[in-house]
Structure 1
């Protein structure tokens, strides 16, 4: 008797756009799933011709923001698909939205905007960010798929402040959640989400790339500090600059390099000027992975004094490179760095405390510093490697 062909599970991943080369989290996740026998379909809101060679099937939403005429044409085309191509699924989506109390006009809009999902047959529909599930809470059920949602720091902690009750409908649905830290898991539990539906999978890095031969490095005469961060208020860079002003007043010689770009550049440059440390601070802009590694290789201390932070890959990379790492206690950072074991955790929004901690770290003996470095490197290799993360996502979909 011929063996029955085994079903190959298909994961639909929903993102804003096709991940760029530098967006390693989603690229590694997709690659890991494919290596473990899953089919992957990527659903995106935005698509361009450069994405055509991405190594999985891409299904892109119709364009509704390029002029009134094109919007009308695409809307009519979507409605025709709803009636003649996907009538059963479209009717079910319309009815489920009605059951949720969605107004008629919004139901029609949801039907048009979400039509691009309905041609596909999948086992899981996984929204890569919480906000991507808004107005799509019933799409997975319509597709006869299980629903998953990933939360990162910004969309779990900040989006509800900007969009009040944005997850009210989502949190009533049958969903399996992925978060980056135990702190984030507890936040979802506080929303009365069952802990059994929440899986913590931390970020991971290529530990074969982010490694250093200089594990017993000696501090420079001028202490080299570095941060890798988007220039956004949530990264707390202004507090870092205020702490470094305290260092300067204490007579500590230092150079601080900030790697990253963003809308707050002018504000931060001006803050460094007002604090009279502009000669001690360098803004490099965005750098390649190789150049980031080179900067980390030359640094003594890594700072990540964020106000809000889900977990932060850059902190893992710094520890892997043997840097003495000082972070705030924002969300997942105190799980990323173990205080007094693999680095140091300082209460956020307290630049004086940060300055005191940096001075304390500088004054540690070489033996004490190296103990911290060795423990940090070993923990990153054990806990935050790509192999472990890929297997965790395989288990996420298989163990339901």
Structure 2
């Protein structure tokens, strides 16, 4: 079976779900190819086909265009089908030339499945799978369903028309997809993210309250809720609690978060550790008392799975998949978004648990992650995803 996975670029530092998926499919004899706009030098899991180059220089762009025209000649039947489908959808002549060029790398593909890693990646390429006589799949992962359609209403109208099968990482994201027009008759499978449970495991106990360490791993972005987390921690400091808050990750919101911490008097309590490899993330987790993921928007979050696997007490928001990731009162605690005061109260309550109560929570969380969110389970589910027949 030939699988084409479409991403903006080859999987990076935090996208372990794509890397494990590719490895699993290839280990089971499937031919996997990545179709991307850019490739990292260290990526070697499968062949990578780059999208046509785009240049502001008219001369170079004309040359690139003519080159793609020549390369598309052996694939003329697929190109003709694509043109007919696009004309049927009302695509104008100039726009058709542009779309044909931008999708040239896909129109040359011989695939059984063309799978867009995020719903937004399918925009502008909705008819390609049918043109190359492949099935089309799309994944709903978070921003693409929870945020983008709010800014661009009805953006997926054409996608729903040509989609053969969908993949969601949480039930809440599926609800949102249906809210944005996903038809009820399109088959959907939920396959959650997974982690290396053999790497993220620990027998260490929670550190003493006198050495409190809170921790969050994630890109420094507004949707991760760092500002609200810092506000909650400022409340705790005002109550006399002494702690250190470690943030692992980098991103565009560093200055905003750092300045917010400074204004709230937490300059000495917060440590920005930047981006770290997984073995160092694990090392930092060892010292954490409580893991906090108070996101505004979150598809699921591997970092929370890793923290639970390490036996850490986890407090998360109710953003999308987090309430499926952590079971409130059983494997951790779920706090409604935008309520720093409530988050502070929850942290205090968790700190007040006795050792037996902590042990009950962490052991159940570890058991659940090991059984339900391991890489082997995720890989077998993706194999079934492609092998299961879809309605004609």
Give the TM-score category using the shorter length: over 0.9
Q: CA RMSD in A?
A: 1.5
Q: Residues 218 and 366 of structure 1 are in contact (CA less than 8 Å); yes or no, is this contact kept in structure 2?
A: no
Distance 1:128 1:154 in 2: 12
- Larger deviation: 367-376 or 69-78? 69-78
Tell whether 2:120 aligns with 1:128. no
Distance 2:308 2:386 in 1: 30
The aligned runs of 1:357-396 (5 Å cut-off) are: 357-396=346-385
Tell whether 2:171 aligns with 1:179. no
- Larger deviation: 331-340 or 187-196? 187-196
- Larger deviation: 181-190 or 367-376? 181-190
Compared CA separation, residues 303 and 21, structure 1 to 2 (3 A) = closer
Distance 2:268 2:114 in 1: 50
Q: Residues 177 and 198 of structure 1 are in contact (CA less than 8 Å); yes or no, is this contact kept in structure 2?
A: yes
Residue 21 of structure 1, CA deviation = 5.7
Q: State the secondary structure of the residue aligned to 1:17.
A: coil
Distance 1:57 1:244 in 2: 46
Name the counterpart of 1:201: 191
Tell whether 2:17 aligns with 1:25. yes
Residue 22 of structure 1, CA deviation = 5.0
From 275, 278, 297, the counterpart of 1:286? 275
Q: State the secondary structure of the residue aligned to 2:157.
A: coil
From 202, 205, 213, the counterpart of 1:212? 202
Residues matched between the structures, number? 388
Distance 1:192 1:295 in 2: 41
Name the counterpart of 1:15: 7
Q: Residues 189 and 195 of structure 1 are in contact (CA less than 8 Å); yes or no, is this contact kept in structure 2?
A: no
Residue 290 of structure 1, CA deviation = 1.1
Compared CA separation, residues 195 and 311, structure 1 to 2 (3 A) = farther
Q: State the secondary structure of the residue aligned to 2:386.
A: helix
Tell whether 2:24 aligns with 1:63. no
Residue 68 of structure 1, CA deviation = 2.9
Residue 196 of structure 1, CA deviation = 5.3
Name the counterpart of 1:40: 32
- Larger deviation: 188-197 or 10-19? 188-197
Residue 189 of structure 1, CA deviation = 2.7
- Larger deviation: 240-249 or 38-47? 38-47
Q: State the secondary structure of the residue aligned to 1:282.
A: strand
Name the counterpart of 1:77: 67
Q: State the secondary structure of the residue aligned to 1:303.
A: strand
Distance 1:88 1:192 in 2: 30
Tell whether 2:222 aligns with 1:233. yes
Distance 1:361 1:144 in 2: 55
Q: Residues 297 and 321 of structure 1 are in contact (CA less than 8 Å); yes or no, is this contact kept in structure 2?
A: yes
Name the counterpart of 2:95: 106
The aligned runs of 1:141-290 (5 Å cut-off) are: 141-190=130-179, 191-194=181-184, 197-214=187-204, 216-290=205-279
Q: State the secondary structure of the residue aligned to 2:67.
A: helix
Q: Residues 322 and 376 of structure 1 are in contact (CA less than 8 Å); yes or no, is this contact kept in structure 2?
A: yes
Q: Residues 327 and 344 of structure 1 are in contact (CA less than 8 Å); yes or no, is this contact kept in structure 2?
A: yes
Distance 1:47 1:377 in 2: 35
Distance 1:223 1:217 in 2: 9
Tell whether 2:293 aligns with 1:304. yes
Q: State the secondary structure of the residue aligned to 1:81.
A: helix
Compared CA separation, residues 94 and 198, structure 1 to 2 (3 A) = same
From 80, 88, 97, the counterpart of 1:91? 80
Distance 2:182 2:140 in 1: 16
Name the counterpart of 2:126: 137
Residue 253 of structure 1, CA deviation = 1.4
Q: State the secondary structure of the residue aligned to 1:354.
A: helix
TM-score of the superposed pair, with normalisation by structure 2: 0.95
Q: Residues 128 and 149 of structure 1 are in contact (CA less than 8 Å); yes or no, is this contact kept in structure 2?
A: yes
Residue 218 of structure 1, CA deviation = 4.2
Tell whether 2:326 aligns with 1:326. no
Residue 17 of structure 1, CA deviation = 1.4
- Deviation track 1:193-232 (CA, whole Å, cap 9, x = no partner) reads 2265111100000000000021x43433131100001000
Distance 1:201 1:274 in 2: 42
Distance 2:267 2:159 in 1: 46
Name the counterpart of 1:5: none
Unaligned runs of 5+ in 1: 1-8
Unaligned runs of 5+ in 2: none
Distance 2:107 2:207 in 1: 59
